[in-house]
Amino acid sequence: MSAGSLIRSARKSRRLTQRALGHRAELSQSHLSLIEGGRQNPSFDAVERALRAAGHRLVAVPTVRDDAATVATDIRYAVRDDREDRALRRFIQLNDNLAAEHGATRFALTISEPESTGSKQWDAAIAALVAHHLVAENLPVPDWANSETRALRRQWAIGEGPYTLTPRPEQVPPEFLRRGVLVDADTLVSA
């Protein structure tokens, strides 16, 4: 996750404007705007001050795997570019990342709330995937993944298209079914 995405996510999680966060962190709103927009590479001190001002901490996690927030950003770009195949590949990669990690590291990959992908379906799918892997290890599920805004009113099959076979409800893991996202459990088994 880039420094800008990290700061933006922390700021939004506390419902702060750039101006309010800048005041707390003693950084200008324009400086925060440049950082969040990826147009300026901030110093470590600036990142740490902004995160602390938002009530967050910078923590190192012993993995090089992308977290849910990073993958959600990639899916947002794929959705914007009408590349459902790319969105699906990144979703499967997140599944593999979470399956490969355990305990605190798995949890750490899910704790930062992802920004919206611009697709209610993909937002619900990411929340379901996170909950699925955390529940499997009896780990706590972050509030963002349980939010009603990350559940669909009308069911959606991942990869929905003319050749998609919609799985039967008994084939769908509970955390996905609860959020209205239809995916066969076998799809989530890593090779």
Looking at residue 189, its pLDDT comes to 86
Report how far residue 28's alpha carbon sits from residue 72's, in angstroms, rounded to the nearest whole number.
28
Looking at residue 1, its pLDDT comes to 66
| DSSP type of residue 47 | H
Which one is the CATH code of 3-53: 3.30.497.10, 3.30.70.330, 1.10.260.40, 2.40.50.140? Answer: 1.10.260.40
DSSP for 132-188, please give it: HHHHHTTPPPPHHHH-GGGS-SS-EETT-STTPPPPPGGGS-HHHHHTTEE--GGGG
Looking at residue 10, its pLDDT comes to 87
Report how far residue 34's alpha carbon sits from residue 4's, in angstroms, rounded to the nearest whole number.
8
Looking at residue 165, its pLDDT comes to 79
State the 10-residue block means of pLDDT for the chain, 191 residues long.
84 91 95 93 93 88 92 95 94 96 96 92 98 97 96 89 80 97 89 56
Would you list the domain boundaries of the chain? 3-53, 68-188
What pTM, to 2 d.p., does this model score? 0.81
Looking at residue 143, its pLDDT comes to 94
